[in-house]
């Protein structure tokens, strides 16, 4: 095995699968080495050797029911492994299909089957973790990933933290040693790469020693919030021991007010879709604001603004509902880019009360297109304005402890409805980063609404308490 790895390292070097000099990684960090393993597909014999060696690393190879090849470089290698081992191949698409089945996982499989991920290069492990999420979402079990190269920038650690074992043919350090022994690189190049690896470790240690937002209590995070409304919400959640956001998607004003009166002492936020009301009046808003003050909860209008800045400004401030005058928070899609934030900011002219935006980074509906780069750009947008109070997302996609993660789709048991809504349990969403959890039909459809409210409140708070204590 050792001799074959040494030979393979030289073969990869000779087909220009790696270059040395001054480069920048996808994450924007400088690096002295650049890899392009896609060239392997032009060398069939070499590709077969890589696939054979790679599969010897799989601890659960004999018990695996499925293999998932990561697009694009690892996919042909995974296909060879699949053919040689007679284990079915799955493909995890980079984006959900916009037609027909709208699948993100292609292939035939059964719930509960064990799947091994095949990847070419792991840096931080984020791509593998995204694949794990998609595979587990459809009922598969993932415990192992085999990769060609570990760049030693935290990938192994991050995957291990999520219960995924990673085995690699090469670490960046071992690969350089093979090339040095073969006379393909100089000791100066090896030293540059070694220094790079050490710097990466130092950075990882620094990040590890910093406290994750998931371990900081709400009262402390209130002091870190740049948005005043977010700070107020953190303090309310801490004081009331509640992370519950109640969605009152009802069509009658009196029904909304009655539920707000009942739930008020137990919730942190009441979330409305104001255009559902068939009998909306300004008097309704006055009564809702009074209940908000009396029971110390905030109001969120789930408007999901998504137009150009000028239009959004008018929608926010004017029209029948005059949302800017009464909603502490609103939601907004990030499709328009930064103009969505500037438009809402413009709509607050003359408003003295603190307001905040929750940007929709991910949605809870099956087949949602809010994935990949869209999520990353949404997070970046959240950093551009103090008007942003948090993000609507399903997973822990940001680090700022001053922002709030709002997660919808909560039920006491994991389920889904007939229209593609996917529900997760309180424990699942809190562990996935939720600070504020949205419950709707779990309460509005309950026979004993007060009992349901208290049950959700207590289960969510228990999960939050365990999260910060762990």
Contact predicate 344/312, CB 8 Å? yes
Active-site residue flag, 19: no
Q: Annotation-wise, does 232 bind a ligand?
A: no
- HSE-up of 13 (CA within 13 Å, CB side)? 19
Q: Annotation-wise, does 421 bind a ligand?
A: yes
Q: What is the pLDDT of residue 99?
A: 45
Domains 2-209 and 213-469 share a fold: no
Parallel, antiparallel or unpaired: strands 244-247 and 165-171: unpaired
- Rg (C-alpha) for the chain, rounded Å, is 25
Active-site residue flag, 110: no
State how far the alpha carbon of 201 is from the alpha carbons of 123, 147, 157, 195, 213, in Å. 12, 20, 11, 10, 21
Q: How many CB atoms lie within 10 A of CB 66?
A: 23
Q: Annotation-wise, does 151 bind a ligand?
A: no
Q: Annotation-wise, does 411 bind a ligand?
A: yes
Sequence-distant (≥ 6) Cβ neighbours of residue 211 within 8 angstroms: none
Active-site residue flag, 304: yes
Indicate which residue of 36, 307, 346, 400 is catalytic. Answer: 307
Token pair, residue 248, equals: 């009152």
With a cut of 70, which residues of the chain have pLDDT below it? Answer: 24-29, 94-102, 202-211, 366-367, 414-423
CATH dotted code for 2-209: 3.40.50.2020
- HSE-up of 218 (CA within 13 Å, CB side)? 24
Q: Which residue bears the tokens 């509902």?
A: 321
Residue 367 gets the label, from left (phi > 0), alpha (psi -120 to 50) or beta, of left
Q: Where are the domains of the chain?
A: 2-209, 213-469
Q: Annotation-wise, does 249 bind a ligand?
A: yes
Q: Annotation-wise, does 409 bind a ligand?
A: no
Sequence-distant (≥ 6) Cβ neighbours of residue 231 within 8 angstroms: 222, 223, 225
State how far the alpha carbon of 434 is from the alpha carbons of 4, 136, 182, 392, 397, in Å. 47, 19, 51, 9, 10
Parallel, antiparallel or unpaired: strands 18-24 and 30-35: antiparallel
Indicate which residue of 150, 156, 302, 435 is catalytic. Answer: 302
Indicate which residue of 304, 346, 376, 449 is catalytic. Answer: 304
What is the sign of the dihedral through the CA atoms of 429, 433, 435 and 436?
Answer: negative
Token pair, residue 427, equals: 């424990």
Q: What is the pLDDT of residue 204?
A: 61
Q: Annotation-wise, does 315 bind a ligand?
A: no
E runs forming strands in 55-95: 66-69, 89-92
Class of domain 213-469 as given by CATH: alpha beta
> By CB neighbour count within 10 A (0-12 exposed, 13-18 middle, 19+ buried), where does 265 fall?
middle
Q: How many CB atoms lie within 10 A of CB 48?
A: 13
pTM of the model: 0.61
């Amino acid at each position: 095995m050792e001799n074959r790895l040494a030979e393979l390292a030289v073969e990869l070097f000779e087909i220009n699968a790696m270059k040395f000099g001054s480069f920048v990684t996808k994450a924007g960090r400088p690096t002295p080495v650049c890899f392009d393993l896609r060239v392997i597909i032009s060398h069939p014999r070499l590709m077969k050797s890589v696939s054979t060696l790679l599969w010897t690393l799989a601890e659960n190879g004999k018990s695996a029911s499925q293999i998932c090849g990561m697009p694009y470089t690892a996919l042909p290698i995974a296909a060879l492994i699949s053919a040689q081992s007679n284990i079915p191949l799955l493909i995890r698409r980079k984006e959900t299909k916009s037609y027909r089945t709208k699948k993100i996982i292609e292939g035939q499989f059964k719930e509960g089957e064990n799947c091994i991920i095949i990847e070419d290069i792991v840096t931080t492990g984020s791509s593998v973790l995204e694949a794990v999420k998609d595979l587990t979402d459809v009922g598969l079990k993932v415990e192992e990933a085999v990769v060609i190269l570990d760049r030693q920038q935290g990938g192994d650690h991050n995957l291990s933290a999520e219960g995924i074992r990673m085995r690699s043919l090469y670490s960046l350090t071992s690969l350089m040693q093979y090339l040095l022994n073969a006379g393909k690189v100089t000791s100066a190049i090896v030293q540059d790469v070694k220094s790079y690896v050490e710097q990466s470790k130092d950075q990882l240690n620094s990040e590890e020693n910093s406290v994750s937002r998931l371990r900081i209590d709400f009262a402390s995070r209130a002091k870190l919030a740049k948005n005043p409304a977010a700070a107020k919400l953190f303090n309310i959640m801490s004081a009331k021991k509640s992370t519950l956001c109640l969605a009152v998607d009802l069509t009658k004003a009196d029904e909304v007010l009655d539920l707000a009166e009942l739930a008020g002492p137990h919730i942190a936020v009441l979330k409305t879709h104001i255009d559902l009301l068939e009998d909306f009046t300004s008097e309704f808003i006055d009564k809702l604001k009074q209940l908000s003050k009396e029971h110390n909860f905030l109001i969120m209008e789930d408007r999901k603004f998504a137009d150009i800045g000028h239009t959004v400004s008018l929608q926010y401030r004017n029209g029948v509902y005059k949302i800017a005058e009464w909603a502490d928070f609103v939601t907004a899609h990030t499709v328009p880019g930064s103009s969505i934030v500037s438009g809402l900011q413009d709509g607050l002219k003359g408003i003295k009360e603190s307001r905040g935006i929750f940007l929709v980074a991910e949605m809870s509906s099956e087949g949602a297109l809010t994935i990949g780069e869209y999520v990353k750009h949404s997070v970046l947008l959240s950093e551009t304005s103090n008007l942003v109070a948090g993000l609507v997302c399903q997973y822990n996609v940001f680090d700022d402890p001053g922002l709030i993660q709002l997660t919808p789709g909560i039920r006491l048991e994991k389920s889904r409805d007939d229209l593609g809504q996917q529900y997760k349990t309180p424990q699942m969403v809190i562990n996935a980063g939720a600070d504020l959890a949205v419950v709707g039909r779990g309460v509005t459809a309950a026979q004993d609404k007060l009992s349901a409210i208290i049950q959700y409140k207590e289960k969510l708070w228990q999960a939050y308490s365990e999260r910060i204590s762990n």
